[in-house]
C-alpha cells in the first residue's frame, strides 16, 4: 500500500530492518540540547514537485536536520532559518525561486536542492551572486560541471559508470546499450560517458534515447536490442525503467542480456514492482549507503527525520543526500569565524574550504574546493534486486573512469589521496 496518509506502511519492510534507529536520540551540530535564540542565518533550498515527480525529499531531510541543529544550540546560538521554494519543474519558477532566495531574502547559501530544472537555470546566477549551492538531488551536467554547485549525490553519469564498471568487471559485459532520456544535459551526457568507458576497456557501447513524454518505450528497447549489446543499462527514472523492464519481460529477454541500472532503481518499491521474474537479474548502483546499512550517520539520519521531520517524509537516497548536505554545511559554519556568518562571501569561502568530511553514508570523503567542476562522490556500492529488497553484491568501490581524472587531481592537491 502506498497511500499518502499511510506512507509509514509503504516503507514497513525497510524500516522494519532499521527499527533500531527510531530509538536513538538524534545528534546534530553543536549538540548542546539548548534551543538557539539568536538572529537567524538565512539559508535557501529549491526542490521540484510537479508532474514528473516529487523531488522534495532532499529539502525535507535538510529542513529536519536544521530543525535539529536549532534545537541543539544552532550555529553559536544562532538558528538557521531555512527558506524552501518549489520550482514546479518550471524554468521560470526556478529562476524566480532563486531570485527570491538569493537576491531578496539574502540567503548566505543554498542547501539540499533537489531538482531537474533549477540547476540548469540558476547555475550562472549562483556564480554571479557568489553563492554556493550544496545540492543533494542532481541529475544534469550543470550540477557537476559548474563552479558554484556541488552535490552529495552522484547523478546519472557517475552512477552509470559505477554500474557499467561492475558489469564489465564482474558480469562479463562487453557491449553496453544505454537507454536514457533524450535530454542533452542528462541522458546523452551520461550515456556518452558509458560509451567512452566501455571503449576505454576494449568494449563498445551505444545509446538509445527516449523522449521523456513518450508512451512507447518498446522502440527504445528494440533499438538497444538491435545494437547488438550484451548488456542493457536503464539510465531512466524508476517509472520509465519499470516500463522498459515490462516490455523486455513481454519479449522474455531477461536471460539474453545483463540488466543494470543507476541509482533511481534503488528504491524499496522496486523489487515488488518488477515482480518475481526479475529477482536476481537486475544489478543497481547505489550512490549512497544502503538505506538499512545501520552506520552511525545512517541511524542518525533516520533519528533526525523521526524527531524533526514529518511522518511522510520519504526515507530514500535523496533524503540521505539532503541530510548529508545539511550536516556538512553546518559543520563548515561551526568551523568558520562566527563574525562572517552573515557574509555570503565568507560562507562561500568556508564551503569551498570543505575537505575530508566523512560519513558512513558515503563511500569516500566529501570536499568542495575551488574548481570549475565538482564531483566529490565518485564511489558507490552495487546491489542486486532480490525478493523483498536488495542484496549488496559489491561494497564501496571507486569508479575508475578517465572522467574522474581531473577530480582526482583536485583531490591530490587537497591532500585527499
Cβ closest to another protein, residue 61 vs residue 354: 61
Options 273-281, 283-291, 324-332, 336-344: segment touching another protein (CB under 8 A) = 273-281
Query: How distant, in Å, are the alpha carbons of 127, 248, 368 from that of 372?
Result: 10, 41, 11
Cell of 34: 539548548
Residue from 53, 228, 280, 295 in contact with another protein (CB under 8 A): 53
Task: Read off the DSSP letter of residue 245.
Answer: H
Residue 386 binds to another protein (criterion: CB under 8 A)? no
Instruction: Indicate whether 275 belongs to the interface with another protein (CB under 8 A).
Output: yes
The DSSP letter of residue 267 is: -
Q: CB of 152 within 8 A of CB of 122?
A: no
**Subset of 178-217 contacting another protein (CB under 8 A):** 182, 209, 211, 213-217
C-alpha cell at 279: 529477482
Quick one: which segment of 103-111, 147-155, 270-278, 287-295 binds another protein (CB under 8 A)? 270-278
64, 218, 294, 319 from 300: Cα distances, Å? 11, 43, 9, 12
Residue 54 binds another protein, judged by CB under 8 A: yes
Stretch that binds another protein, among 48-56, 154-162, 284-292, 300-308 (CB under 8 A): 48-56
Can you state the angle between helices 218-226 and 238-250, rounded to 10 degrees? Answer: 70
Nearer to another protein, 250 or 370 (CB): 250
Any contact of residue 246 with another protein (CB under 8 A)?
yes
Q: Is 4 one of the binding residues for another protein (CB under 8 A)?
A: yes
Q: From 94-102, 238-246, 289-297, 343-351, give the range in contact with another protein by CB under 8 A.
A: 238-246
Alpha-carbon gap, residue 49 to 52, rounded angstroms: 8
DSSP code, position 260: E
Residue 139 is a binding residue for another protein (CB under 8 A): no
61 lies in the binding site for another protein (CB under 8 A): no
- Binds another protein (CB under 8 A): choice among 199, 200, 219, 417: 219
Q: Is residue 227 within the footprint of another protein (CB under 8 A)?
A: no
Strand, helix or coil for residue 204: strand
CA distance 357 to 50: 34
Cβ-based neighbour number of residue 282 at 10 Å: 23
Strand partners, 86: 47
Question: Residue 385 forms beta bridges with which residues?
Answer: 390
The Cα–Cα gap between 22 and 37 comes to 28
Q: Which residue from 38, 228, 239, 388 is in contact with another protein, where contact means CB under 8 A? A: 239
Which of these ranges, 107-115, 117-125, 149-157, 239-247, lies near another protein under the rule CB under 8 A?
Answer: 239-247
- Taking a C-beta distance cutoff of 8 angstroms, is the pair 333, 75 a contact? yes
Cβ distance to another protein smaller for residue 2 or 405: 2
Which residue, 148, 69, 154, is CA-closest to 109?
A: 148
Which of 231, 125, 113, 106 shows the shortest CA–CA distance to 176?
Answer: 231
Residues of span 250-269 touching another protein by CB under 8 A: 250-252, 267, 269
388 sits near another protein (criterion: CB under 8 A): no
Contact footprint for another protein (CB under 8 A): 1-4, 7, 10, 51-54, 182, 209, 211, 213-220, 222-223, 226, 238-243, 246, 249-252, 267, 269-270, 273-275, 312
Amino acid at each position: 500500500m502506498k497511500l499518502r496518509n499511510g506512507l509509514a506502511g509503504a516503507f514497513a519492510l525497510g524500516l522494519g530492518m532499521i527499527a533500531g534507529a527510531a530509538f536513538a536520540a538524534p545528534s546534530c551540530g553543536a549538540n548542546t540540547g539548548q534551543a538557539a535564540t539568536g538572529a537567524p542565518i538565512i539559508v535557501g533550498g529549491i526542490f521540484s514537485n510537479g508532474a514528473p515527480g516529487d523531488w522534495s525529499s532532499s529539502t525535507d531531510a535538510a529542513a529536519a536536520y536544521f530543525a535539529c541543529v536549532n534545537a541543539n544550540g544552532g550555529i553559536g546560538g544562532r538558528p538557521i532559518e531555512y527558506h524552501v521554494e518549489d520550482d514546479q519543474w518550471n524554468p521560470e519558477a526556478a529562476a524566480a525561486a532563486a531570485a527570491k532566495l538569493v537576491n531578496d531574502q539574502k540567503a548566505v547559501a543554498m542547501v539540499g536542492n533537489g531538482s531537474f530544472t533549477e540547476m540548469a537555470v540558476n547555475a550562472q546566477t549562483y556564480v554571479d551572486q557568489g553563492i554556493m549551492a550544496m545540492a543533494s538531488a542532481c541529475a544534469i551536467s550543470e550540477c557537476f560541471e559548474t563552479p558554484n554547485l556541488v552535490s552529495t549525490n552522484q547523478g546519472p553519469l557517475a552512477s552509470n559508470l559505477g554500474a557499467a564498471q561492475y558489469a564489465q568487471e564482474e558480469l562479463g559485459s562487453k557491449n553496453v546499450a544505454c537507454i536514457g532520456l533524450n535530454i542533452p544535459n542528462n541522458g546523452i551526457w551520461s550515456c556518452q560517458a558509458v560509451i567512452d568507458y566501455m571503449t576505454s576497456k576494449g568494449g563498445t557501447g551505444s545509446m538509445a534515447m527516449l523522449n521523456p513524454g513518450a508512451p512507447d518505450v518498446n522502440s527504445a528497447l528494440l533499438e538497444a536490442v538491435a545494437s547488438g549489446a550484451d548488456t542493457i543499462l536503464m539510465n531512466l527514472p524508476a517509472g520509465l525503467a519499470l516500463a522498459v523492464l515490462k516490455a523486455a519481460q513481454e519479449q522474455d529477454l531477461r536471460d539474453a542480456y545483463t540488466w543494470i541500472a543507476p541509482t533511481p532503481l534503488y528504491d524499496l518499491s522496486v523489487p515488488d514492482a518488477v515482480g518475481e521474474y526479475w529477482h536476481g537479474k537486475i544489478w543497481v548502483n547505489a550512490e549512497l549507503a544502503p538505506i538499512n546499512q545501520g552506520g552511525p550517520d545512517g541511524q542518525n539520519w533516520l533519528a533526525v527525520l523521526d524527531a524533526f521531520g514529518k511522518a511522510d517524509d520519504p526515507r530514500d537516497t535523496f533524503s540521505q543526500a539532503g541530510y548529508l548536505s545539511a550536516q556538512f554545511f553546518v559543520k563548515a559554519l561551526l568551523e568558520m569565524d562566527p563574525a562572517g556568518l552573515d557574509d555570503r562571501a565568507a560562507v562561500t569561502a568556508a564551503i569551498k574550504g570543505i575537505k575530508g568530511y566523512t560519513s558512513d553514508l558515503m563511500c569516500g570523503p566529501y570536499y568542495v574546493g575551488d574548481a570549475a567542476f565538482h564531483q566529490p562522490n565518485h564511489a558507490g556500492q552495487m546491489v542486486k534486486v532480490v525478493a523483498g529488497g536488495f542484496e549488496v553484491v559489491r561494497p564501496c568501490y571507486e569508479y575508475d573512469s578517465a572522467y574522474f581524472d581531473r577530480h582526482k587531481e583536485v583531490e591530490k592537491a587537497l591532500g585527499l589521496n
